[in-house]
Structures are given as structure tokens and as C-alpha cells.
Amino acid sequence: MAMIETILVATDGSPASSAAADEAIDLAMRLQARLIVINVVNVPEVAAASSMFPGTAVAAREEAGAIARAVVDDALRAGVAAMYLTWEGQPGEAIVAAAEAESADLIVVGTHGRSVIGRLLLGSVSEYVVRHSRVPVLVVRPQEAYAAARR
């Protein structure tokens, strides 16, 4: 069995990604692995908003960095070696590319638990990552979504 030395976790500040971050920190602590936290700024969306609201791109990058730094701070308090990255692009593609660039052994992502129709209409970052990653992917649901699915 391969050693897991580097875990990459994607976060956007949502409850789903917060659950993934908590799980990634716990795994990194138990496995004594390094944690890389990534937040992706979706450039086309930011560029569209920037045309109407100047400064949106800078604000989006700053917010992405703040979200990722908060996860790194939690990891450091837990004794986990951690760093963060802010990438630009489509989230699924950027997560897979970052995992490859950083030689991650495992990717951890959250899921909102959307239905099949929701994934078709809205797309799914976690589904993209699972389908395109060359390394194992752990998909984490927030506790409330997990509890609702079990009813």
C-alpha cells in the first residue's frame, strides 16, 4: 500500500468544503502527512463581475486566500504541516492540476450531495475531480447532508 505523505484539500468556505477540510486535517494528523489547502478563483466569473464592479478580481483573490489561510491555521493548531495555494481557473480542472503539480497522494473534496439532475444542470466539482484525478479522491459530505440521506 502506498504511503500518503501529501494531502490536497479544496476549500471554498462552504459547509461542504469545511467538512472536507476537517476530515483532511484529521487524516493528515493521523498519517503525519503534509496538508496543502487550495482555493480556486473562477476567473471567467470574476472577470464578468469585474466589468460591472471594479475591484472584484482583487477582492475575490483576497477572499480566496483568507478562506485557505483559515484552514491552514486550523491545521497548524492541530500540529499538521500545512500551506495554501490560490489557483485561477475552473475549479475541478485547477484542483486536479494542483494535485499533480504538488505531487499529492490524496485529494479531499466536499460535496453538496446534489441529485443527478442537479449535477447535470449545475455541474459538480467533486464529480469532475473523481473522474479526472490520477490519485485517490475522498469525497466528504457535511454531517447534516449525511444524516438527511440516511433517513
Measure the CA angle with vertex 90, ends 47 and 113; round to 5°.
120
User: What is the Cα–Cα distance from 70 to 18, expressed in whole angstroms?
Assistant: 10
Q: Along the 151 residues of the chain, how does pLDDT read in single tens digits?
A: 569 999 999 999 888 899 999 999 999 999 999 999 999 987 665 555 555 555 666 777 788 889 999 999 999 999 999 999 999 888 999 999 999 999 999 999 998 765 555 444 445 889 899 999 999 999 998 875 444 444 4
Are 27 and 80 within 8 A, CB to CB? Answer: no
Domain 22-150 carries which CATH code? 3.40.50.620
Domain boundaries, the chain: 22-150
Strand order in the sheet with 137-140: 82-88, 34-41, 6-10, 106-110, 137-140
